[in-house]
Amino acid sequence: MFKKINHIGIAVKNLGDALSVFQDTLGMTCSGIEEVEDQLVKVACLPVGESKIELLESTSPEGNIARFIEKKGEGIHHIAFEVGDLEGVIEDLKRKGVQLIDQKPRIGAGGIKIAFLHPKSTKGVLVELCEHKDQD
């Protein structure tokens, strides 16, 4: 079902400050910054081997990232697993009784199909599933 860890999402108050830490202090390289308007978030991607770190800054006080930071502070927001057939995985998880945030895929950063599982079904961890368009 899962191919690899695609990325780890980290909620940050200020993308510039966070990039300074990850680039200047840790020596990582940002491969791009993108705003995902419908999710009220700005995302910076930092590749690490076959995976990446996604730094997530809210673009609105009503955004999920802003609410997360208000409740829990900055830090790890979610872990994303790459799958080959997102629709099939969603249907399989529904049959198994997993609580889903997304009943069908939507488009996330980088134009990939994504869906989130509710943390109540994954021992408190927000899990994102993602499928790249160009997968075989």
Contact between 128 and 116 (Cβ < 8 Å): yes
pLDDT bucket at 136, cuts 50 / 70 / 90: very low
Averaged pLDDT score across all residues of the chain: 95
Exposure of 45 in the CB half-sphere (CA atoms within 13 A): 16
Beta bridge partners of 130: 82, 114
Does the pLDDT value for residue 1 go beyond 90? no
Interior/surface letters 60-96, b for 16+ CB within 10 angstroms, e for the rest: eeebbbbebbeeeebeebbbbbbbeebeebbeebeee
Position 35 scores a pLDDT of: 96
Hey, what domains does the chain have and what are their CATH numbers? 2-131 (3.10.180.10)
The pLDDT of residue 132: 85
**91 pLDDT higher than 90:** yes
Q: pTM of this prediction? A: 0.93
Q: What is the pLDDT of residue 135?
A: 45
H-helix or E-strand spanning residue 11:
strand 2-12
- Residue 134 pLDDT level (bands cut at 50, 70, 90): low
Q: Which helix (H) or strand (E) holds 3?
A: strand 2-12
